[in-house]
């Protein structure tokens, strides 16, 4: 049986494309006792409120027809954001060389956050260029989150 996020992604991706956007991610999470279904969009030049509204209306209608979720939930559509998390191998490939922040589950050298440039991605391991001779390597099991990071000059 498919997960809710997979079903919703299949419904939302064509709708996003019809509206000039790309589906970045779908999440279905419980927060503060309430379920949230969130769709994140991406678009060259940035996603605006009109993009979110158009995709939200159409996907909401499709969700009503298909009804893949039992019970109530909050439905949100938004931009993936400038500091979006990287999850899939294709995300890492797309943003190779970009500034990122790596958060680890456990302390390493007394800290859990490491900023640098994405230097590689190998079987879930993240390589981070921090200006030293060799990039730092974080194994998949160590990494809690990798997200893009905005640098201000």
Q: How does pLDDT run across 37-46, given as a tens digit for each residue? A: 999 999 999 9
- Cα torsion at 143, 90, 86, 79 (round to 10°)? -160
Mean pLDDT to the nearest integer, 97-118: 96
Handedness of CA 137, 139, 142, 143 (dihedral sign): positive
Which one of 3.40.50.720, 3.30.950.10, 3.40.50.40, 2.30.30.100 gives the CATH number of domain 89-148? 2.30.30.100
Give the pLDDT of residue 152.
83
The segment(s) of the chain belonging to CATH 2.30.30.100 are 89-148
Give the pLDDT of residue 153.
72
For tokens 């050298």, name the residue.
Answer: 109
Give the pLDDT of residue 151.
87
The segment(s) of the chain belonging to CATH 3.30.300.70 are 4-79
What does the angle CA 153 – CA 143 – CA 45 come to, to the nearest 5 degrees?
40
Task: Say how far apart CA 139 and CA 106 lie, in whole Å.
Answer: 12
Give the pLDDT of residue 48.
96
| Cα 131 to chain centroid, rounded | 26
Condensed to tens digits (0 to 9), the pLDDT of residues 3-27 reads 999 999 999 999 999 999 999 999 9
Residues contacting residue 45 through CB under 8 Å, at least 6 positions apart: none
pTM of the model: 0.83
Provide the token pair at 137. 């390597």
Q: Alpha helix (H) ranges present in the chain?
A: 4-18, 49-66, 89-94
Nearest to 114 by CA among 124, 97, 99: 99
Give the pLDDT of residue 33.
94
Condensed to tens digits (0 to 9), the pLDDT of residues 49-76 reads 999 999 999 999 999 999 989 889 999 9
What is the domain class of 4-79 according to CATH?
A: alpha beta
Contact between 63 and 10 (Cβ < 8 Å): no
């Amino acid at each position: 049986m498919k997960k809710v996020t997979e079903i919703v992604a299949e419904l939302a991706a064509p709708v996003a494309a019809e509206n000039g956007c790309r589906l970045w991610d779908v999440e279905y999470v419980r927060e503060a006792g309430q379920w949230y279904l969130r769709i994140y969009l991406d678009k060259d030049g940035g996603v605006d409120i009109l993009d979110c509204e158009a995709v939200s209306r159409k996907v909401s209608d499709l969700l009503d027809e298909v009804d893949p979720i039992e019970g109530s939930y909050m439905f949100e559509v938004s931009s993936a954001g400038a500091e979006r998390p990287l999850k899939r191998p294709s995300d890492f490939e797309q943003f190779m060389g970009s500034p990122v922040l790596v958060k680890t589950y456990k302390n390493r050298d007394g800290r859990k956050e490491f900023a640098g440039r994405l230097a590689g991605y190998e079987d879930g391991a993240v390589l981070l260029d921090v200006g030293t001779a060799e990039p730092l390597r974080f194994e998949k099991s160590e990494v809690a989150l990798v997200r893009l990071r905005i640098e201000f000059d």
